[in-house]
Amino acid sequence: MTRSLNPLLEGKPAAPLLVVISGPSGVGKDSVLMRMRELGFPFHFVVTANSRPRRPGEIDGFDYHFVSTERFEAMIRDDELLEWADVYGQYKGIPKFEVRQAIASGRDVILRINVDGAATVKRIAPEAVFIFLAPASLDELRLRLTMRRTESPDEIESRLAVAAHELEQARHFDYVVINEESRLDEAAGQIRAIITAEKLRVFPRQVQL
């Protein structure tokens, strides 16, 4: 595709970006995103579609888009999802309209997805910015998974084996950000710098969905 010159050169605002943040389980994708929201970074947070029933306290359209299994399968059929997964019989996925709406309104969109999901998005939206969040080391990742106490020792070892494989996928991403537990602000700042820099490219990426 031919890219257009940056609109900044004509005194117009930069085009919005689709930013994918991925990385091994336990690396801290949620913590970094939460920190970015706390620091007031302006971006659109995508609400995921989910086929499981709404739990008390959850708000439709905020926590998730709650849809029926039938509706979700129709969305799959009609190619309305950027990426989806069947997790133990429950569907989760990213509706394209969410991303389209945000971009149309001029806001950057950040997607937090696992490494497999990022590969899917890369096929559908190659012009997105792909950021790989990596642990300082596999030992640090083990410590982090142990600390959060949601996995058994066996599950932790199996997640680490997957992580080692996922780290090799970093080469398919554009950027790598090391997320050390004690340096969340540094990782958040680096992601912000990447977004700032990408918007200043003479020929910026143009997401089409």
Q: Which residues of this chain interact with a copy of itself, rule CB under 8 A?
A: 5-6, 8-9, 11, 132, 134, 136-137, 167, 170-171, 173-178, 189-190, 192-194, 196-198, 200-203
- Least distance from C-beta 6 to a copy of itself, angstroms? 5
Helix segments in 109-183, DSSP class H:
115-124, 138-148, 153-167
Residue 118 CB, nearest approach to a copy of itself (Å): 13
Pick the closest to residue 166 from 139, 132, 137, 194 (CA basis).
132
CB of residue 202 to a copy of itself, shortest distance in Å: 5
Kind and range of the H or E element at 75?
Answer: helix 69-77
72 vs 175, beta carbon nearer a copy of itself: 175
User: Three-class SS of residue 56?
Assistant: coil
Q: CB-wise, 32 or 94, nearer to a copy of itself?
A: 32
> Nearest approach, Cβ of 13 to a copy of itself (angstroms)?
11
Residue 203: CA count within 13 A, CB half-sphere: 5
Enter the tokens of residue 27. Answer: 């690396």
How far is 58 from 94, CA to CA, in rounded Å?
18
Which residue, 200 or 209, is less far from a copy of itself as judged by CB?
Answer: 200
